[in-house]
Amino acid sequence: MAQYKVIAGPKKLTIGHDGNMSDAMEQYQSIIQKEAQGGWELVCINSVEITQNPEPLPPLGCLLSLLCALKLMTRPVEPPPIRSNVNMLVFVQKG
């Protein structure tokens, strides 16, 4: 039965002002070689969007609800979700 593992790869690769694209690819190559030890084989690399919902705001309570209803205070606004992309490296080990 095959086993799978997923590793988060870097979102961005940075090379120096005098570097080239092969320097950036070597960063990925070192990750792949490290994770391939023990018979793991790279299957694919996919970009995945991850959305983290904010912590819900606590209930206002009677007094704060009344102040908001009377427009003496504004109701707190929940922050928007945080979105980020991650590169997912999928490996398989056939057993």
The torsion angles phi and psi of 55, rounded to 5 degrees, stand at: -65, 135
pLDDT of residue 91: 96
| pLDDT confidence band for 40 (50 / 70 / 90) | very high
pLDDT at 7 over 90: yes
Confidence of residue 66 (pLDDT cuts 50, 70, 90): confident
**Residue 81 pLDDT:** 93
Domain spans of the chain, in order of start: 3-93
C-alpha 79/C-alpha 56 separation (Å) is: 9
pLDDT at 77: 85
